[in-house]
Amino acid sequence: YINRLVINYYNGKHPKHHLWKIHYKFIIDNIKPGEKVLDIGCGGSMSYNQQLAKNNNIIDAVDKNSILVQKCSNENKFENIKYYVLDISQELPSKKYDIIILSHVLEHINNPVVVLHNIKKITNKIIVRLPRYDNDWMKLVKKDLGMYYYNDLDHKQEFTQESAEELVRGAGWKIITSLNDVDIKILATLDNKS
């Protein structure tokens, strides 16, 4: 209930996106200027995409939610950011990218291993951000009470550091950096052994 209330209050955008700006630093710091970027699940990512655009990155941003894509497109002031409707669990873009961002996306997908495996066809480097299942005491109490406790009603799962790393490695990626704070942040490259 509270999530729907605050999303309505903030014009369709959860306030967590305002609070996460400091956490976008991981994304920006791990993308070199000029790289071609695919941002999967771009709905709430305008702020870091704008910073990447200022760094001369070329960004294709995709989301399966056409309303969010239209909103981002309407507010976009950068020629090097393009927004598209695309469900990554159903199809891939035809282009290749230097890096793909999956920021708070995989928890919404029924089979994230398949998505992580499939995107190896179009990139050799990824940034993954995932929600921790234990980042809020209220979630843990709800879990103990047998209630739904994930951050979002659409989440299929949330993660521990270990389960997030296992997910990424299990899809054939080699983890370069893995950080665990408010959420889990992973930078990975193709594992040539897979």
CB under 8 Å to 19, separation ≥6 — which residues? none
CA-atom Rg of the chain in angstroms? 16
Task: DSSP letter for 92, please.
Answer: -
Residue-level pLDDT at 4: 72
Nearest to 49 by CA among 4, 94, 96, 81: 81
In DSSP terms, 129 is beta-bridged to 103, 185
Describe the strand order of the beta sheet including 81-85 as a list of residue ranges.
81-85, 58-63, 36-40, 99-103, 125-131, 183-190, 173-180
Cα distance between residue 177 and residue 14, in whole Å: 28
Nearest to 112 by CA among 98, 123, 102, 99: 102
Amino acid, res. 86: L
Domain 2-190 listed as CATH 3.40.50.150: yes
φ/ψ (deg, to 5) at 156:
-90, -30
Nearest to 104 by CA among 189, 19, 29, 176: 19
Q: Where are the domains of the chain?
A: 2-190
Nearest to 190 by CA among 111, 110, 112, 97: 97
Cα distance between residue 61 and residue 48, in whole Å: 11
pLDDT (tens, 9 = 90+) of the chain, 194 residues, equals 666 777 777 777 666 665 556 668 899 999 999 999 999 988 766 778 889 999 999 999 999 999 989 988 998 999 999 999 999 989 999 999 999 999 988 888 889 999 999 999 999 999 999 887 776 666 667 777 886 655 666 667 878 899 999 999 999 999 999 998 888 999 999 977 65
